[in-house]
Amino acid sequence: MSPAPLPFSPPYVGRLAPSPTGWLHLGHARTFWEAHRRARAAGGRLLLRHDDLDRDRCRAEFIAAAEEDLRWLGLGWDGAPLVQTTRRPRHRAALERLHAAGLLFPCTRTRRDVLEASSAPHESEPDDEPVYPPAFRPPEGTATPPLEERITVNWRFRVPDGRELRFLDGAAGPQAAVAGRDFGDFLVWRKDDTPSYQLACAVDDAELGVTEVVRGEDLLRSTLRQLLLLEALGAPAPQYRHLPLVRDEHGTRLAKRHDALALRTLRGQGADPAGLRAGFAAELGERPE
Ligand code: GLU
């Protein structure tokens, strides 16, 4: 008997999503090497998306530098690079749909208010946003104000309290968290009229047809938020593969120190890209090319 036809599975689309807030370092390089390897092994496409939402910290020179560093490392991508802020109308359209569905509320509390009143973020993810105190939510029955043309207040997504969310991560294994306990109502749009990372990332991954997201495990908790947004928007969720973070000899995450292990520093010191790639392959359990 011939085997049953496989259900339709869309062609693999992966993405590299650096934030142009600094030089790429060894941690980015290893994640991007894995994203590149997965896309090539699947015969798929790999997009390059510059996540430039943070107006204060992003600089054009880091966009150019990231492309140069990726090329030096031998990691190519398909098609023209995308710049996230150019997708703003799509982000705004998603915001309006979430608002129309009654899933958002405006929040005038400061970051400090939230920090002081909330339970501490998960210990293993000290950078994660604190759990938003339910007492700060507008009382039941309060009418939601309309969205301003130019937004001047923070908008948050109201999470379904007590709901357990699960997904199977391709690298980190089964993941579970309870909404309202492990993470709370999160920002979707900021009062400086910019979309939040969670909203922009979920919308872009879905609309660009990304089938697998490869990134660092510091974003595991963000994935749960993004899954809620995708569900609310009726968009398909990609597969996820969260990799352990690269740490230096003191156990410090490399993201904290862009200097010493920046790819351009290593390049200036004569590092060999093939050697770096072989090192990543050895660490991530694959045979070198
Ligand atoms: N641009 C984000 C960062 O550099 C990564 C986003 C992602 O991979 O979802 O932290």
Whether the CB of 17 sits within 6 Å of ligand 1: yes
Per-residue pLDDT band for 136 (boundaries 50, 70, 90) equals very high
SS3 286: coil
Across 87-112, average pLDDT: 96
Please check whether residue 164 is in contact with residue 227, taking contact to mean a CB–CB distance below 8 angstroms: no
**Using an 8 Å Cβ cutoff, are 242 and 172 in contact?**
yes
Tell whether pTM > 0.85. Answer: yes
Would you state the pLDDT for residue 126? 57
Q: Which domain holds residue 173?
A: 89-195
Same-domain check for residues 75 and 134: no
pLDDT above 80: residue 174: yes
What is the domain-level CATH number for residue 179? 3.90.800.10
Decide which of 176 and 111 is more confident: 176
Mean pLDDT of the chain: 91
* Domain-embedded: residue 160: yes
Q: Which atom of ligand 1 is nearest to the CA of 201?
A: 9
Q: What total of structural domains would you count in the chain?
A: 2
Burial 10-36 (b: 16+ CB within 10 A, else e): eebbbbbbbbbebbbbbbbbbbbbbbb
Q: Which atom of ligand 1 is nearest to the CA of 21?
A: 4
Residue 287 has pLDDT above 60, yes or no: no
Q: How confident is the model at residue 254 (pLDDT cuts 50, 70, 90)?
A: low
For residue 103, being part of any structural domain is answered with yes
CA–CA gap between residue 30 and residue 53 (Å, rounded): 23
For residues 184-199, average pLDDT: 97
Is there a single domain that holds both residue 97 and residue 190?
Answer: yes
Q: What is the mean pLDDT of residues 148-162?
A: 97
Strands (E), 17-87: 45-50, 82-83
For the CA of 218, the closest atom of ligand 1 is 10
In a domain, 3, yes or no: no
Mutational test site, ligand 1, from 201, 217, 218, 253, max ligand atoms within 8 Å of CB? 201
- 8 in any annotated domain: no
Q: Are residues 94 and 185 in the same domain?
A: yes
- Ligand 1 site, residue 222, Cβ cutoff 6 A: no
Structure confidence at residue 261 (pLDDT): 85
Q: Of the candidates 195, 230, 265, which is a domain's last residue?
A: 195
User: Which amino acid type is present at position 55?
Assistant: R
Is residue 255 scored above 80 in pLDDT? no
Q: How far is the CA of 258 from the centre of ligand 1 (A)?
A: 15
For residue 7, the Cα-to-chain-centroid distance in whole angstroms is 28
Last residue of a domain, one of 161, 195, 229: 195
Any domain includes 226:
yes
**Residue 47 domain-assigned (yes or no):** yes
Q: Decide which of 136, 167, 195 is a domain's last residue.
A: 195
Do residues 206 and 245 both lie within one domain?
A: yes
Q: How confident is the model at residue 65 (pLDDT cuts 50, 70, 90)?
A: very high
Euclidean distance between CA atoms 167 and 224, whole angstroms: 8
In terms of domains, do 97 and 219 share one? no
Q: Note the pLDDT of residue 87.
A: 98
75 and 213 in one domain?
Answer: yes
Pocket test for ligand 1, best of 15, 69, 197, 205 (most atoms within 8 A of CB): 197
Mean pLDDT, range 106-111, rounded to an integer? 93
Report the interhelical angle of 60-73 vs 273-283 (nearest 10°): 80
pLDDT at 266: 93
C-beta 51 within 6 A of ligand 1: yes
* 98 Cα–ligand 1 center, Å: 23
pLDDT of residue 140: 82
- Cβ of 35 below 6 Å from ligand 1: no
Considering the domain architecture, whether residues 28 and 97 belong to the same structural domain is answered as: no
Residue 228 is assigned to a structural domain of this protein: yes
Q: What is the pLDDT of residue 117?
A: 87
Please tell me if the CB atom of residue 26 comes closer than 6 angstroms to any atom of ligand 1.
no
Geometric angle at alpha carbon 207, from 201 and 211, rounded to 5°: 80
Position 125 scores a pLDDT of 57
